[in-house]
Every structure is written in C-alpha cells, then in structure tokens.
C-alpha cells in the first residue's frame, strides 16, 4: 500500500477525514511512490481555522523574534537543502543541480525577508497640525493562502511565505498534488526553526481545496502561480470574495536574436533557457525570433548543441530529466505533431529519445522546430515542454511586434552587441521581465517577479518591495494629547493649521 502524503496543521501531520487521494509518481520510472491526500472543504476549513487562531499571537510577536525565527529557518535550509533537492527530483523529475538551483533562488527571498524590519517602518510627522502628530504603520493582513504549481515546488512558495510570515501573517500553502512532499519538508523545517503552531500550514488537494481557500472569509489574500485560465479563475473568485489577489499566469517567452549578436553565446543561452528543467519553467524561452540572415547559422548551432544533451533520470548523471507526468508528456507531443502537420520543419525530434532511465519514464528529448508561423498552436499556446520554436523575421520592428502583440507578457530577451538597440528594446517591449543577453531574466529577490498582460492578474508582483506591500496594509493615525485650546463644539470639517 502506498504511503499517504498528509496535510500539515499546528506543526503536525494531519491526514484529514476525507479518504480520497491521488497517486504521486517518480517521472523517471513511472512508479507510484505515494498517494497524496485530497482535502475536502471540511479539511480545508480545519486548516484555515488553525491559521486564523494563530494569527493574533503571531501578529503581536516582536519583529526581533519573528526575524530570529526566519534566520533559524534560513540556516537550517542552507545546511540541509540537498535533502530537499532530492525530494524535488524524485517527484518532479528535474536534475539535482536544477533542483538545488531552485532552492538557492528561493533562499534569496528568505534572506531578503530576514531584513524586513527596515521595510516595515512607518512614517512619523510631528506637529502636522498645531500640537497634532500624524504617523502611519504597516500591519499584516491575517491568514493568507499560497497556491503553487508543480514546476517549482520549493522556489515558488518561497517567493511568498518568507515575506508573508516575516510581516506577521499566517500561511496556508496549497502545493501541487503532482509533487507535494517538498511542502511538508519545509513545514517540518519551520517547526524546527521555532515557528509557533498554526503559522505555517499545508493543505493538500485539488480544486475542492482551492475553492475553499478562494471563498473562506478568514483568508485575506491569495498568491497564485499557474496557467492563465486558472489564474483568471483564482483572480475572479478571490476578488469577488473581497480578497487581495496576485495571480501569476502563463507565458510565451520570446528571445530576439539580432544580426550582430554573438551567435555562439545566443545558441548556448537558447539551450539553457529552452531545455533546462525540460522546458517546464514559466520563464523558459519557447520562441526564438531570428532577425535578418542569421537564422540558418543559429539553428545549426542550436541543433548541434541540443543533440548532445543527455536525457535521463535526474538523480543520475543527466542534463535533462523527464516531464512531470505521462499525460503532460503526451500533451506536449501532440503540439509537436500539430506543428509538423501545419508545415513547420522538425530539425531535432525528441519523441523517440533513448533516455538513461526507466522504460516507463515520461521521456521527451529536446525538440527544435523551424519555420514556425504565428498561427500554429505550437506558437500560440504555452507548451511547457522541451520544445524550441524558430520564427524568422526580417527586421527588429517585426520581431518587436511579435512580442508585443502576443497575449502573454511574462518575459523576453534580446541578444545583441548594440547598446542602442538594447536600450530601445527594454523601453519598447511590453513584458514584465527583460533580459539583455540574459535568456532567463528572473529578478533577484529585492526586485519583483511578475509579468504583464495575460501573465498577471492583479496589480502586485511577487517578492521584493511589492511583496511587502502585498502582505501588509497601512494605518494612518492622527493624535492629539490633552490640549485645552481645542475644547468646544465645532461642526466644521477639521482643517490643518
């Protein structure tokens, strides 16, 4: 019988009364390694109630004590992150080095949150009016929910929960049911770091659990990362229930390669950005836009490099692991077949890859498709797999128009040695994150992460100062102490003076 992967509430495992569960697999072997509990509404309410009960005491704990616990968590995470990377690889499939890189980027946000006291300072004005002082304070919202995707089971939750907790909120994390164990590992680490019961909780489940978070009045804010259709649902339902919502959606990230670019650098970058984590990244480059006569040479360089990638078990000596599930692998293959049927040229075909892993693993090798047009589904849809599409253009303006007319606006990159072209691109391109000769422009923790257009619903990005803003709200306080000159009745509107 498979092990049940439980919820976490009040610093302890909680199986829940609902007996429903779903299989968790090792993508490199296809073997079922456990079954994750699927929380129903009652389970969700129990966990939300625990976060609500814990909130007043956590809100009132001093900033010094909060940040001390955060520092403890950071030190424990740094010392034992190889344990977490192995868990991620076993359930997601990405290679160990990639899993470790994910954790390191998440740890940057933990470190940022350790210094949150400076960002939680309010303002103070003495004698704003005669013998009247004015000041402001930033206070936490209450219990908040994080709904995270399968592709980054550690990093994406860490975009949100360190800041939320440091600011004085309590948290309910709903991880993907495809790779849920990382969330429990982090929950245990929080308890070991000294976080009080009920401050960090894990609700396992599917849409039933999510819908309870979206409608439960105790949850004051929702942070979501996932596909655009679900992001729209989360934003619509959450805001209708009066919640603050940041819902990060899908992407179709373009890399524009100008004729003056270093093509070897560009080819290396396209391999790394297109095939890292088997393309299962919201910041993956999925469209390479060539400008002018360089297309043939660049495609040849990418194909040469991609054909040398070793696909296999992420726990072994591999460059790229499997896709997360068999159904997702089949969906990506269907896009390749549709592109081929529509007239695109398959330069490198990953459908029949001989992988270094189990015969029943969810394998798909690097795939390079040339002569893609903008009406093909392989261009219009977010594929989320190891597929690079080449779109050929004749000019910078044509390439820029491709990026700007695309409904997604997560990230984009430009490869060039022309500083003027780079400055123009970063000013004119309509996306949230831009790389100049950087293919995966994920901002450092003290800048914000988030896209434009259909890649974000809500007005606040993740982490950085915007994250602090999202997880706090402002009080403006006006005070006057005993002053006989202000006695008497005056029904006029109060004025400064």
DSSP one-letter code for 290 = E
Q: Considering only CA atoms, which of 241, 245, 218 is closest in space to residue 231? A: 245
Q: Within this chain, do residues 309 and 405 fall inside the same structural domain, yes or no?
A: yes
Domain boundary among 380, 409, 436: 436
Q: Is 461 a residue whose pLDDT tops 50?
A: yes
Segment 406-430, tens digit of pLDDT: 999 999 999 999 999 999 999 999 9
Q: Based on the number of CB atoms within 10 Å of its own CB, is 486 exposed (0-12), middle (13-18) or buried (19 or more)?
A: exposed
Q: Is 189 a residue whose pLDDT tops 70?
A: yes
d(CA 162, CA 112): 8
Range of the domain at 365: 253-436
When pLDDT is cut at 50, 70 and 90, the band that residue 493 belongs to is confident
Q: Is 474 a residue whose pLDDT tops 60?
A: yes
Q: Is 310 a residue whose pLDDT tops 80?
A: yes
d(CA 116, CA 169): 13
d(CA 191, CA 179): 21
Average pLDDT for 261-272: 98
Catalytic entry in 282, 324, 364, 462: 282
Q: Within this chain, do residues 115 and 241 fall inside the same structural domain, yes or no?
A: yes
Average pLDDT for 391-409: 98
Q: Considering only CA atoms, which of 462, 472, 440 is closest in space to residue 112? A: 462
Please count the CA atoms within 13 angstroms of the CA of 50 that sit on its side-chain side.
Answer: 23
Q: Within this chain, do residues 62 and 120 fall inside the same structural domain, yes or no?
A: yes
DSSP one-letter code for 64 = H
CB 362, CB 342: distance < 8 Å: no
d(CA 109, CA 105): 7
* Residue where the block lists tokens 């490198």: 348
Q: Considering only CA atoms, which of 255, 264, 258 is closest in space to residue 419? A: 258
Domain boundary among 436, 467, 489: 436
d(CA 135, CA 118): 16
d(CA 46, CA 442): 36
When pLDDT is cut at 50, 70 and 90, the band that residue 149 belongs to is very high
Return the C-alpha torsion angle 281, 239, 472, 454, nearest 10.
30
Q: Within this chain, do residues 101 and 176 fall inside the same structural domain, yes or no?
A: yes
Q: Within this chain, do residues 292 and 403 fall inside the same structural domain, yes or no?
A: yes
C-beta neighbour count of 417 within 10 angstroms: 12
d(CA 299, CA 288): 9
Residues 6+ apart with CB under 8 A from 75: none
d(CA 438, CA 338): 30
Average pLDDT for 57-80: 98
d(CA 269, CA 271): 5
494 assigned to some structural domain: no
Q: Within this chain, do residues 36 and 58 fall inside the same structural domain, yes or no?
A: yes
Alpha helices in 248-395 (DSSP H): 263-275, 295-306, 326-341, 377-380
CATH number of 227's domain: 3.40.605.10
CB 14, CB 44: distance < 8 Å: no
30 assigned to some structural domain: yes
Strands (E), 40-130: 124-129
When pLDDT is cut at 50, 70 and 90, the band that residue 491 belongs to is confident
Average pLDDT for 38-58: 97
* Residue where the block lists tokens 């940022």: 112
Residues 6+ apart with CB under 8 A from 360: 29, 30, 31
335 assigned to some structural domain: yes
Residues 6+ apart with CB under 8 A from 468: 116, 119, 120, 138, 163, 167
* Residue where the block lists tokens 């990244």: 281
CB 58, CB 149: distance < 8 Å: no
pLDDT more than 70, % of the chain: 99
Average pLDDT for 124-133: 92
443 assigned to some structural domain: no
CB 390, CB 370: distance < 8 Å: yes
Is 237 among the catalytic positions? no
Q: Considering only CA atoms, which of 269, 351, 272, 271 is closest in space to residue 98? A: 272
Determine the pLDDT at residue 17. Answer: 81
Segment 329-341, tens digit of pLDDT: 999 999 999 999 9
Q: Within this chain, do residues 392 and 468 fall inside the same structural domain, yes or no?
A: no
Q: Within this chain, do residues 257 and 241 fall inside the same structural domain, yes or no?
A: no
Q: Within this chain, do residues 181 and 293 fall inside the same structural domain, yes or no?
A: no
190 assigned to some structural domain: yes
Q: Within this chain, do residues 67 and 196 fall inside the same structural domain, yes or no?
A: yes
482 assigned to some structural domain: no
pLDDT more than 90, % of the chain: 94
Q: Within this chain, do residues 342 and 390 fall inside the same structural domain, yes or no?
A: yes
- Helix, coil or strand: residue 337: helix
Determine the pLDDT at residue 2. Answer: 65
Determine the pLDDT at residue 1. Answer: 45
Determine the pLDDT at residue 18. Answer: 78
Q: Please provide the DSSP assignment of 217-268 as one string.
A: TT--EEEEES-HHHHHHHHHHHHHTT-EEEEE----EEEEE-TTS-HHHHHH
Distance from the Cα of residue 71 to its chain's centroid:
23
When pLDDT is cut at 50, 70 and 90, the band that residue 204 belongs to is very high
Q: What is the CA radius of gyration of the chain?
A: 25
Q: Within this chain, do residues 318 and 421 fall inside the same structural domain, yes or no?
A: yes
Segment 440-452, tens digit of pLDDT: 999 999 999 999 9
Q: Is 82 a residue whose pLDDT tops 70?
A: yes
442 assigned to some structural domain: no
Give the count of domains, the chain.
2
DSSP one-letter code for 340 = H
Average pLDDT for 184-193: 98
* Residue where the block lists tokens 């990418």: 302
Q: Is 497 a residue whose pLDDT tops 70?
A: no
Average pLDDT for 352-366: 96
């Amino acid at each position: 019988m498979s092990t049940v992967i439980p919820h976490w509430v009040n610093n302890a495992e909680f199986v829940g009364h609902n007996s429903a569960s779903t299989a968790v697999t090792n993508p490199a072997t296809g073997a079922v390694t456990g079954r994750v509990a699927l929380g129903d509404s009652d389970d969700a309410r129990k966990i939300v109630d625990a976060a609500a009960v814990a909130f007043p005491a956590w809100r009132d704990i001093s900033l010094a004590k909060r940040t001390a616990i955060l520092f403890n968590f950071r030190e424990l995470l740094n010392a034992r992150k190889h344990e977490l990377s192995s868990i991620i690889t076993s359930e997601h499939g990405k290679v160990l080095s990639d899993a470790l890189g994910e954790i390191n980027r998440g740890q940057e946000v933990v470190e940022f949150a350790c210094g949150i006291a400076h960002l939680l300072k309010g303002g103070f004005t003495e004698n704003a009016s005669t013998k009247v002082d004015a000041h402001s304070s930033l206070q936490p919202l209450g219990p908040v929910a994080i709904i995270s995707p399968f592709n980054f089971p550690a990093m994406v939750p860490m975009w949100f929960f360190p800041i939320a907790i440091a600011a004085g909120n309590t948290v309910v994390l709903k991880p993907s049911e495809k790779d849920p164990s990382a969330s429990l590992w982090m929950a245990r680490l929080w308890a070991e770091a000294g976080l009080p019961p009920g401050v960090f909780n894990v609700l396992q489940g599917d849409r039933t659990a999510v819908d309870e978070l979206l409608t439960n009045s105790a949850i004051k804010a929702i942070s979501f990362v996932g596909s655009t259709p679900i992001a729209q649902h989360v934003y619509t339902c959450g805001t209708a229930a009066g919640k603050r919502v940041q819902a990060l959606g899908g992407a179709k990230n373009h890399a524009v390669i100008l004729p003056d670019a270093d093509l070897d650098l560009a080819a290396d970058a396209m391999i790394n950005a297109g095939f890292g984590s088997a393309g299962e990244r919201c910041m993956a480059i999925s469209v390479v836009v060539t400008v002018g006569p360089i297309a043939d040479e660049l495609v040849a360089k990418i194909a040469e490099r991609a054909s040398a990638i070793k696909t296999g078990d992420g726990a072994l000596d591999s460059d790229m692991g499997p896709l997360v599930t068999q159904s997702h692998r089949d969906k990506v293959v269907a896009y390749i077949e549709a592109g081929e049927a529509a007239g695109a040229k398959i330069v490198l075909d990953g459908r029949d890859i001989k992988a270094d892993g189990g015969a029943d693993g969810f394998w798909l090798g690097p795939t390079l498709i040339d002569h893609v047009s903008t009406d093909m589904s392989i261009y219009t849809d977010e594929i989320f797999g190891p597929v690079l599409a080449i779109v050929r253009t004749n000019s910078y303006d044509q390439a820029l128009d491709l990026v700007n007319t695309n409904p997604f606006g997560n990230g984009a990159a430009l490869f060039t040695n022309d500083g003027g072209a780079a400055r123009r691109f970063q000013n004119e391109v309509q996306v949230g994150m831009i790389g100049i000769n950087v293919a995966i422009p994920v901002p450092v923790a003290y800048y914000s992460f988030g896209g434009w257009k259909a890649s974000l619903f809500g007005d606040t990005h993740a982490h950085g100062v915007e994250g602090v803003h999202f997880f706090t709200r402002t009080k403006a306080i006006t005070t006057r102490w005993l002053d006989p000159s202000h006695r008497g009745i005056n029904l006029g509107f109060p004025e400064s003076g």
